[in-house]
């Protein structure tokens, strides 16, 4: 999943919010290595069921720095968005998930667009992973440094913590309140959907009938309704 490299730039909470109308991300940790690869490292301790969309927004902002004017598109820098989660986003008991674009109808054809999107499940079983990944998971779970890579991570984290003490780029109270309110509404909506799906199952409605009900009554498209159904049934 990861290749060891030397981080030459590390910034905490790099703020890309330059527009009062459109959403701009605030990167938890922004970094670049000696190969020109650009990284965004995010910590996630709650599942708000929006991680794929968040990754797309973060990638969109990293891409603005991935190519200089006058360069050919083949010279585009690699951009990496890495989410460290203390929960299993997809409930598949995997240590990490890599999201990749595929050609519709031909899943064996993978599209290399210069983006890497990885979700790390910090509570997963690291014993089946490569040594480098085990080292990373051990560090982020209990802070133990076991090698050169985790030692470099530890130095970067300490630098970030020192920057935090300087009080730069804090999220405003208004931004925090708005985000928490949005998450609360989303959780309330998801819970209502879940209870509805469970109720329809007890009434012996089949999958297609339940999905149609969700589309008609919850203002969801087919993909959203299917995702809600599968999410509930996976934990039933």
pTM: 0.55
Q: How far apart are CA 37 and CA 29, in angstroms?
A: 14
pLDDT tens, position by position, for the chain (236 residues)? 445 455 555 555 454 544 333 344 555 777 887 778 888 888 887 888 889 999 999 998 888 888 888 888 888 999 999 898 888 899 888 888 999 888 999 988 888 899 999 998 887 766 666 665 677 777 766 778 888 777 877 776 676 556 554 444 444 545 555 666 666 777 788 888 889 999 999 999 999 999 999 998 888 899 889 988 998 888 76
Strand, helix or coil for residue 103: strand
Residue 135 CB neighbour total at 10 angstroms: 23
Q: Are 160 and 191 in contact (CB under 8 A)?
A: no
Which residues 6+ apart lie within 8 Å of 17 measured at CB? Answer: 23, 24, 25, 26
């Amino acid at each position: 999943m990861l290749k060891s490299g030397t981080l030459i730039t590390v910034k905490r909470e790099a703020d890309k919010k330059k527009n009062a109308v459109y959403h701009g991300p605030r990167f938890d940790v922004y970094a670049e290595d000696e190969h020109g690869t650009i990284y965004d490292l995010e910590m996630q301790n709650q599942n708000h069921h929006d991680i794929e969309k968040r990754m797309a927004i973060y990638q969109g902002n990293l891409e603005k720095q991935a190519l200089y004017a006058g360069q050919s598109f083949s010279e585009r820098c690699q951009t990496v968005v890495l989410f460290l989660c203390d929960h299993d986003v997809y409930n598949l008991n995997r240590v990490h998930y890599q999201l990749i674009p595929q050609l519709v109808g031909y899943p064996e054809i993978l599209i290399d667009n210069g983006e890497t999107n990885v979700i790390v499940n910090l509570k997963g079983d690291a014993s089946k992973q490569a040594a480098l990944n085990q080292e990373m998971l051990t560090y982020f779970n209990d802070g133990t440094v076991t090698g050169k890579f985790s030692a470099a991570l530890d130095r970067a984290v300490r630098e970030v913590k020192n920057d935090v003490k300087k009080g730069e780029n804090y999220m405003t109270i208004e931004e925090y309140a708005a985000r928490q309110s949005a998450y609360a509404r989303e959780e309330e909506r998801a819970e209502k959907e879940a209870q509805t799906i469970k109720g329809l199952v007890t009434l012996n409605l089949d999958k297609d009938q339940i999905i149609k009900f969700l589309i008609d009554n919850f203002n969801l498209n087919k993909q959203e309704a299917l995702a809600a159904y599968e999410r509930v049934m996976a934990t039933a």
